[in-house]
Amino acid sequence: MNKRFYITTAIDYVNGLPHLGHAYEKVVADVIARSRRSLGQEVFFLTGTDEHGQKVQQAAVAMGKSPQTYCDELAAVWQQLAVTLGLSNDDFIRTTQDRHKKLVQAILAKLHRQGDFYKAQYTGYYSTKEETFLTEKDRRPDGTFDPSYGEVVELVEENYYFRLGAHQQWLIDYLEANPSFVYPENRRNEVLGFLKNNQLEDLCISRPAARLSWGIPLPFDPQFVTYVWFDALSNYVTAPASHGDPGALAGFDAVDGVDLTPGNLALWPADAHVIGKDILKFHAVYWPIMLKAAGLPLPRQVVVHGWWQKDNHKMSKTTGNVVDPVAVINEWGLDAFRFYVVRELDLGPDGNWTDAGFASRYQSELANGLGNLVNRSLSMLKRYREGKVPAVAHDLAAEVGLAVVELRQRWLANQLQGGLESIWKIVNRANQYIDQTAPFKLAKDPAQAQRLDEVLYCLVETCRILAVCLQPYLPGTATRIFQQLNLPGTPDRLEQAQWGRLLPGHVVGEPSPLFPRRDAPPKK
Ligand code: MSP
Contacts of 398 (CB under 8 A, 6+ apart): none
Contacts of 506 (CB under 8 A, 6+ apart): 388, 389, 486, 487
Cβ atoms of 506 and 486 closer than 8 Å: yes
Whether domain 355-497 has CATH 3.10.270.10: the reply is no
CA dist 267 and 361 (Å) reads 38
Give Cα separations from 256 to 140, 240, 394 (angstroms): 45, 17, 64
pLDDT at 322: 94
Cβ atoms of 67 and 50 closer than 8 Å: no
Give Cα separations from 118 to 37, 113, 205, 479 (angstroms): 45, 11, 10, 56
Would you say the CATH fold of 355-497 matches that of 5-305? Answer: no
| Total residues found in the chain within this entry | 524
CA–centroid distance, 283 to ligand 1, in Å, is 12
pLDDT at 524: 47
Whether domain 5-305 has CATH 3.40.50.1100: the reply is no
How would you write the pLDDT of the chain (524 residues) with one tens digit per residue?
899 999 999 999 998 899 999 999 999 999 999 999 999 999 999 999 999 998 899 999 999 999 999 999 999 999 999 999 999 999 999 999 999 999 999 999 999 999 999 999 988 899 988 888 898 888 898 989 999 899 899 889 999 999 999 999 999 999 999 999 999 999 999 999 999 999 999 999 999 999 999 999 999 999 999 999 999 999 999 999 999 999 999 999 999 999 999 999 999 999 999 999 999 999 999 999 999 999 999 999 999 999 999 999 999 877 889 999 999 999 999 999 999 999 999 999 999 999 999 999 999 999 999 999 999 999 999 999 999 999 999 999 999 999 999 999 999 999 999 999 999 999 999 999 999 999 999 999 999 999 999 999 999 999 999 999 999 999 999 999 999 999 999 999 999 999 999 999 999 999 999 999 776 555 54
**Which of 25, 129, 277 to probe ligand 1 with, by most ligand atoms within 8 A of CB?**
25
Enumerate the domain spans of the chain: 5-305, 355-497
pLDDT at 317: 77
Cβ atoms of 124 and 158 closer than 8 Å: no
Helix (H) or strand (E) holding 127: strand 117-127
Residues with CB under 6 A from ligand 1: 10-13, 21-22, 24-25, 50, 232-233, 235, 275-276, 278-279, 307-308, 315
Cβ atoms of 324 and 331 closer than 8 Å: no
Work out which ligand 1 atom sits closest to the CA atom of 278.
19
Residue nearest to atom 9 of ligand 1 (CA): 12
Tell how strand 302-305 and strand 272-276 pair up.
parallel
**Which of 8, 22, 57 to probe ligand 1 with, by most ligand atoms within 8 A of CB?**
22
Work out which ligand 1 atom sits closest to the CA atom of 287.
6
CA–centroid distance, 15 to ligand 1, in Å, is 12
Work out which ligand 1 atom sits closest to the CA atom of 306.
28
Count of beta carbons in the 10 Å neighbourhood of residue 352? 14
CA–centroid distance, 488 to ligand 1, in Å, is 39
Helix (H) or strand (E) holding 302: strand 302-305
